[in-house]
Amino acid sequence: MAKSITLGGKGSSLTSAAVFQIANRLAEVRIDSSLIDKLSSSSSSSPSEAKKKQNHELSRYQISFPDFITLEESRASMVVLLNKLVLSGGVIRSQLVELIGGRLNFGIGEGIGGLEVGEIDVTEEERRVIESCLGTMDGICGILDHEVTGLVGVIDVVAALSCEALKADVSVFGSLDLGDGFSVKSEAAVGGDLRVLLNGSKLVGKVEVGAVSDVPSVHGSLREAVKAVHSRARVEFNSGVRGGKEGNRKAWLIVLMPLAMALRDLGESSLHRAKLNVRSIASDDVSTSVRGLLEEEILKGNEKLVDTFRSVSDVALREEHAKFLHGVNSLLSLVRRVVSLEMVTAVISLEGSELLDRKQEPSASPANVNGGSSNAEKKGEKKRKKAVLGKGTAVIVQLIKDRLQSNLADVVDELSIVRKAIETLDSLLDPKGADFDDFSATVKEIVESNESRRLPKLPKGTRDFAKEQMAVRERQFSIITNVFKRHGAMALDTPAFELKETLTGKYGEDSKLIYDLADQGGELCSLRYDLTVPFARYVAMNGLTSFKRYQIAKVYRRDNPSKGRFREFYQCDFDIAGQFEKMGPDFEIIKILTELLNELEIGDYEVKLNHRKLLDGMLEICGVPPEKFRTICSSIDKLDKQSFDQVKKEMVEEKGLTVEIADRIGTFVNERGPPLELLSKFKQGHREFWENEGSSVALNELEILFKALEKSKCIDKVIFDLSLARGLDYYTGVIYEAVFKGTTQVGSIAAGGRYDNLIGMFGTKQVPAVGVSLGIERVFAIKEQEHKEKNEVIRANETQVLVSILGDDLPLAAELVSELWDARIKAEYMVHKNVIKHLTRANKSGIPLIVIVGEHEIKEGIVKLKELGPIPEDAVEATVPRSRFVEEIQARLLRKRDSSAAAS
């Protein structure tokens, strides 16, 4: 043999792959020479001692295996035994090690029924090692580990072929890891590999198939089971004898029973897809007998799978260890054949009669004799040409076809072809087969190649915005900016990251969501969490005493992404810093918020409002210790998502409040209603709030605020809500949160409050401030859903004119379109001989006006203007002198603008 595996060398270890190779005579075993010398010297320190040991300490021992154990399994067990003897060191004689090594290499004692070692001379210590090792039959576990690892490497590609054969919806493969902390890593990995294999496929994505949707969970479970077996094998093969005569049977049972169950599930899932594949095969591609044969094979496979797994379970319960290991090994072989059957059915479904029709060569066809082909053949060829496989599966299908072509060269009968194909692909998936390594390496190369792994993928919690989405966003940003400027705000921009010390200690329990940067250039930096703290830092750094500013920029939070919740998103902030009349800035901020939401036309909403001093006063009245105010506020802030019972449990069990205090808090946080009405109720019925210093200040301020909001005609959108807490640490006064009341579930869409002490935290004098932050991403989600429900077409560009040159005269196009650009008209150009291409371009982009110039127009010194309407037949044409075409277009665009303004 060309390959040898050394045992006993320095740093060497026995792997499952080595056990498999030696057991199947794919490699020979070699004992490290230095180890042999060591064993020889330790076992014969003097001739007299060696003779005494031989005469009095050796006894005859019969090494045998149960009748049901195969030759491969018995050889594998002997390999592990040999390694255990080697690991036992000086207590083992070199003669025994060389004897077993020689029998493995030369096949002594091997027969059809298995391996017969016979009686050998052993010492008591050697007997103990042999009985312990053969009692556990660890070698069979090595075969299992190696073969099932090989199977895991190829089952995904077989399932991918079935996905294409069934035209299955595979969107589930891309939604297995949402970054919410609850995804299963093995399932997400399976989904990722399947996406790589199916990348570019035009066959998938149409039909929902349960046997396809469960592939990630079934294959992922098998991966996890294999990982556990592999870890156990590595330990057991390379450690000394443990556990006495019974060895570590229990340990093997714990890891192998889940493997058996995972193999059973894989077999059932694969058989289900195979059955569906047969149904998907076109009736004119295979004969009834072939379809019947495939269905019969599937039925037999199912019966054998049920019987084999039942047998494995029975012997496991009876603790018949050797039979259990042998049974799992048999189950693995059966499942591998089932998978090969699925592969055959998928390939036949995808390739049709091309695989099975071997009776005639194309030249022998009557139609081909006359140099043509039948309509049916042409139609079939056309159909197959349209079937575009994935980049990965296309390579695999071609490899399988090549393998089948070479193995089926002399077979012409359809049934024989199918039977031979099943055997061929079973061999292809068998690690003992000559072609398995090449096939497995091809699959691995596809899945792991850099090119394939460059599939477009966004980081969790981020998103792209297509041209239509950007058109909507830009319109919304324009509305927001106009509202901000209407109130005299000035724009400000700050860095995307700040010093970590700037951000820490400002966000309470949410500080854990701050993104720290890895490469910090000698400074500890973090991505900004919001725009308020950077604004406060800017005011403090520059010694400002008043500033009305707005900022629209991205912020970053290390949150668990979910619907409407991202890790990177825009915030639109408006803040007023400085000393002003009492509650004046607070009133204006809330007025701005209602203007924003009204002009954005998001639908029904409400602005929940509370006061931090009122909240603190309530906690003090209820008996909450001052040091727990902020953490209890964080709990109360969850009431919009959780029931009070859940929040109460958190306050009592996690934050140490008594049940009585928590219940008293509950009586107050349920208070909500129209602002002036609820304020009047507090004046009359809750004297304890007026007697508390903080809450009395809050109620007086709220009275001023509510009256101002009433006069500004926006109080109808405000709800006084004592459950609103806002968990951020820096709030000191009024707090508010806008909530969308429509069908789209997006949570709060804007929030803010007063923060009088934040700017002073940066080491300067205190500058009071109040602000609001609009969660524009959630507003976009509402608008996108609105467009979807109304089936509105969103125009992504603002082009007003398309200059269409009928020919290839680029200089002419440059001249005309430049005149339009110089006149500040939004224009594009197109150079093409086909006028239909120009009209299609204009209609697709929603361009209302076309300037058409062909040979005739050039000769006459004119241009043709074509106004497009919603209906192509309604298009209006006019001829205009070349020298006046810009003025004419300006006039037409002005009329259109006036007409649109009048209509609105």
Measure the CA–CA gap between 700 and 688, rounded to whole angstroms.
14
Place 452 in a pLDDT band, splitting at 50, 70 and 90.
very low
Quick: pLDDT tens for 136-160.
Answer: 678 899 999 999 999 999 999 999 9
List CB contacts of 861: < 8 A, sequence separation 6 or more: 881, 882, 883
Structure tokens, 355: 């695989």
Residues 500-518, mean pLDDT to the nearest whole number: 81
Task: Provide the edge-to-edge strand list for the sheet that holds 568-577.
Answer: 490-491, 547-556, 568-577, 769-774, 748-754, 734-740, 605-611, 718-721, 672-673
What value, to the nearest 5°, has the Cα angle with vertex 233 and ends 229 and 237?
A: 170
Quick: pLDDT tens for 769-810.
Answer: 999 999 888 888 788 777 777 777 778 889 999 999 999 999
Quick: pLDDT tens for 852-873.
Answer: 999 999 999 999 999 887 655 5
Question: Of 761, 731, 669, 721, whose CA–CA distance to 508 is shortest?
Answer: 731
- Positive/negative CA dihedral, 225, 229, 230, 235: positive
- For residue 60, pLDDT over 60 is answered with yes
Q: What is the distance in angstroms between the CA of the first residue and the CA of the last residue of the chain?
A: 88
Name the average pLDDT for the chain.
84
The pLDDT value given to residue 379: 44
The pLDDT value given to residue 37: 76
- For residue 684, pLDDT over 50 is answered with yes
- For residue 369, pLDDT over 50 is answered with no
Residue 115: strand, helix, or coil: strand
DSSP 874: G
- For residue 381, pLDDT over 50 is answered with no
The pLDDT value given to residue 810: 95
Check if the beta carbon of residue 515 is closer than 8 Å to that of residue 574.
Answer: no
Quick: pLDDT tens for 750-765.
Answer: 999 999 988 988 877 8
Measure the CA–CA gap between 635 and 649, rounded to whole angstroms.
10
The pLDDT value given to residue 42: 61
Higher pLDDT, 412 or 288: 288
The pLDDT value given to residue 56: 44
- For residue 238, pLDDT over 50 is answered with yes
List CB contacts of 823: < 8 A, sequence separation 6 or more: 886, 890
In order, the DSSP letters of 605-619 are: EEEEEEEHHHHHHHH
* Residues 47/52/53/57 CA torsion (nearest 10 deg): 170
Place 837 in a pLDDT band, splitting at 50, 70 and 90.
very high
The pLDDT value given to residue 554: 93
Measure the CA–CA gap between 277 and 269, rounded to whole angstroms.
12
The pLDDT value given to residue 424: 86
Q: Report the predicted TM-score, pTM, of the whole model to 2 decimal places.
A: 0.58
- For residue 383, pLDDT over 50 is answered with no
The pLDDT value given to residue 639: 81
Question: Of 382, 140, 121, 398, whose CA–CA distance to 252 is shortest?
Answer: 140
- For residue 53, pLDDT over 50 is answered with no
Check if the beta carbon of residue 27 is closer than 8 Å to that of residue 21.
Answer: yes
The pLDDT value given to residue 1: 45
Measure the CA–CA gap between 893 and 877, rounded to whole angstroms.
15
Place 537 in a pLDDT band, splitting at 50, 70 and 90.
very high
- For residue 365, pLDDT over 50 is answered with no
Measure the CA–CA gap between 125 and 144, rounded to whole angstroms.
29
Q: H or E segment at 322?
A: helix 321-351
Quick: pLDDT tens for 459-490.
Answer: 888 888 888 888 888 999 999 999 999 999 99
| CA atoms within 13 A of residue 708's CA, in its CB half-sphere | 17
- For residue 21, pLDDT over 60 is answered with yes
